[in-house]
Chain A
Amino acid sequence: MTRHGEAAGAAPSGALRADVVVDRGGFRLEAELAVAPGQVLAVLGPNGAGKTTLLRTLAGLRALTAGSIQVGAHTWDDAGAGVFVPAVDRRVGVVFQDYRLFPHLSVLDNVAFSARARGVARDRARRDAANWLDRLGLDRFAPRRPGELSGGQAQRVALARALASDPRLLLLDEPLAALDVRTRLEIRGELRQHLSAFAGPSILVTHDPLEAMVLADRILVLEAGQVVQVGSPTDVARRPATDYVARLVGLNLYPGTLSDPVTRRVDLDGGGTLHAAGHGSAGADDDGEVTFAGAPGDRLLVVLAPSAISVHTRRPDAGSPRNTWTGVVAGLELLTDRVRVAVDGAPSALVDITPAAVADLRLTPGQPVWLTAKATEVMAYPDLGPVARRP
């Protein structure tokens, strides 16, 4: 293995371009991604999707099976050319999920560690570290040992340590996962500030959609080693590409086939039909309101918010809702201010209603019900299939 493309000194930050292929036992990770300087990409996915493996290849803790990784003018990994720059030479800042602060060093020396490791004199390294602690409001913790810090404080110190290493790429692995709910809220706000202040590209791995929406400019959804969706937070939230994303953002999602472009009738794969006339049922674009133009046989994804569905215990009068179907109550779950009713039918659906409505309707599992939804609440968009290797 050779080293390549490493210039001395801090280089101006460049964009990250990565084409990642990793084989690990029977598991294969394939992801292509590009992140501009100053931009934050969230990698969202369930456990075992390959998020951490992706992060480790970018950090230089694992080599690619195929593909390449470039930051600016530096090639960090190129399986074809036999180039692999190990983590120690990459200048990559990593905030690990478990922080990995050195327990025997003070907070100040933890933050000064990378300068010391690169041969900076102790006094100067400590002065620079003190500046970073100052900037992140951590100066009063400087003499403490990591064992004396709360989770939120340790997380801040880990970020300070990563930023102090003057990284070309910042990687954060579930940075808020180990924190309690209140601290998470607080740190999330701070983290957003620090990420936007960082000049290079950042990648945030998370399984929390809210974290991804709040912190990232773009979201990449990873499932079973494949990229299933890339887009802006708005895009992903409104037009989930898979069931996993739909559940994360709280939508009912149905793949189907357009059978009548005029009435916008979609035959759903899982059985049943829905008329989709929702606002935004458009071609593909984020913000443009392209008119819904489709041909019979087009593959579509249909989304329907649980709050847009009504439940009835008797057949509803033929009225304005264009979508009426039957089902059986499968379960009830009390959320904070509403009840989520799972209904088996064609299609099955999650429905949000008020606790009062549950009482009025005397809903119990096994009870047959009618569901209605206005066509204008049903949104359809083209199903692009897996977007792997095509960000």
Chain B
Amino acid sequence: MARPAQKAPPTRPPGQRGARTRSIADVTGRTPWPLAAPAAVAVAFLLLPLVGLLLRAPWRGLPRILVESGALDALRLSLVTASAATVISVFFGVPLAWVLARARFPGRSLLRALVTLPLVLPPVVGGVALLFALGRRGFIGQHLDQWFGITLPFTTAGVIVAETFVAMPFLIVTVEGALRSADLGLDEAAATLGARPFTTFRRVTLPLIGPSLIAGAVLCWARALGEFGATITFAGNLPGVTQTMPLAVYQALERDPDAAVALSLVLLVVSIAVLALLRERWLHPGTSL
């Protein structure tokens, strides 16, 4: 979990991190083989599929395949919907994280468990649930349809709803963790200085959990980008409307494996970029502020 950024004391000599790592290695010596062997298997298992993807990639025709397969449409739709889902998650998820971390009311633990349920729920189940809540004949969806003429399933808005449902808990969990470990003493100090709770939230709490909020938003965005099960169940697979990258990959695999590999490469590149951003935030808190 990312922690609130703190400036490293200016007196700390550079390179101390390296020195400490070396001293730990000196103490522990070599890795015992009962640990080393399974670890190597795990590394191979995690990396070899990616190698397979790179070996199989149609490097020469890559630009042509991407254009012809409608990948750009899917990529654009994915980026737009994932970003929209992230914005919605931040807008509603941060206040909920605050409530879960700070407010005192009965049933808070239960609420926390329910809210984070989509983390462990199979996404396809989420999609079915969304269908029966927000679908045309769902208990909310029928009213949306009758009163406002709003239909969510099989629309781009439906994609955003499905992605938000699955991805928002990642943001909530990350931000709530940061809020719990944030120093309440600063809130007290702000109160004695005449700051009302919302002013304190805006001027003190939010800036301090900034790095965690960014980490949570990136996680949320990445999860939304890769969302498959809930999206295909709730929003379907209409090219240009609801067909996001993962859906396009799945469909391409059946008739044009080269296109599937090309699309997968694009997602791989995006994932690596996200990972790089997260590592920057998590491994060097404070330096990137």
Contact = CB atoms under 8 A, between A and B. Distances in A.
A67 interface: no
Interface string B124-153: 000000000000000000000000000000
A100 B186 contact: yes
B61 interface: no
A100 B7 contact: no
B7 A59 contact: no
Contacts of B186: 100, 102
Contacts of A59: 192
Contact of B195 (A92, A113, A148): A113
Contact of A165 (B10, B183, B194): B194
Given A103-B7, A147-B9, A114 B185 contact: no
B10 A148 contact: yes
Given A117-B203, A147-B9, A88 B191 contact: yes
B204 A88 contact: no
B280 interface: no
A96 B189 contact: yes
B9 A100 contact: no
Interface residues of A, number: 30
B22 to A, nearest CB: 27
Most interface-central of A86, A91, A117, A145 (chain B CB within 10 A):
A117
B207 interface: yes
B208 A87 contact: no
Name the interface size band of chain B: 20 to 34
B193 A161 contact: yes
Contacts of B183: 100
Contacts of B256: none
B186 to A, nearest CB: 6
B194 A104 contact: no
B23 to A, nearest CB: 26
A345 interface: no
Contacts of B207: 104
Interface in A34-79: 59-61
Nearest to A166: B194
A96 B7 contact: no
A118 interface: yes
A96 B185 contact: yes
Contacts of A100: 183, 185-186, 188-189
A104 B10 CA distance: 16
Interface string B169-208: 0000000000000010110111111111001000110011
A93 interface: yes
A98 interface: yes
A52 to B, nearest CB: 12
A254 B144 CA distance: 84
Interface in A91-113: 91-94, 96, 98, 100-104, 113
B6 interface: yes
A116 interface: yes
Contacts of B192: 59-61, 87-88, 90, 92-94, 162, 165
A142 B10 CA distance: 17
Nearest to A88: B191
A101 B185 CA distance: 10
Contacts of A86: 191
Interface in B189-230: 189-196, 199, 203-204, 207-208, 210
A103 B194 contact: no
Given A104-B208, A116-B203, A165-B194, A147 B189 contact: no
A88 B197 CA distance: 9
B100 to A, nearest CB: 23
B276 to A, nearest CB: 25
Given A61-B188, A102-B186, A102-B204, A117 B6 contact: no
Contacts of B199: 117
A113 B200 CA distance: 10
Interface in A142-160: 145, 147-148
Contacts of B210: 104
B9 A113 contact: no
Most interface-central of B9, B189, B208 (chain A CB within 10 A):
B189
Most interface-central of B191, B196, B210 (chain A CB within 10 A):
B191
B189 A94 contact: yes
Nearest to B286: A147
Nearest to A59: B192
A104 B213 CA distance: 15
Given A102-B204, A104-B208, A117-B203, A88 B196 contact: yes
Given A91-B194, A92-B192, 6 more contacts: A60-B192, A61-B192, A86-B191, A87-B191, A114-B195, A147-B6
Interface of B: 6-7, 9-10, 183, 185-186, 188-196, 199, 203-204, 207-208, 210
Interface of A: 59-61, 86-94, 96, 98, 100-104, 113-114, 116-118, 145, 147-148, 161-162, 165
11 contacts: A59-B192, A91-B194, A92-B192, A98-B185, A113-B203, A114-B195, A117-B195, A161-B193, A162-B192, A165-B193, A165-B194
Closest 8 CB pairs of A and B: A147-B7, A117-B195, A114-B193, A100-B189, A87-B191, A94-B192, A104-B207, A117-B194
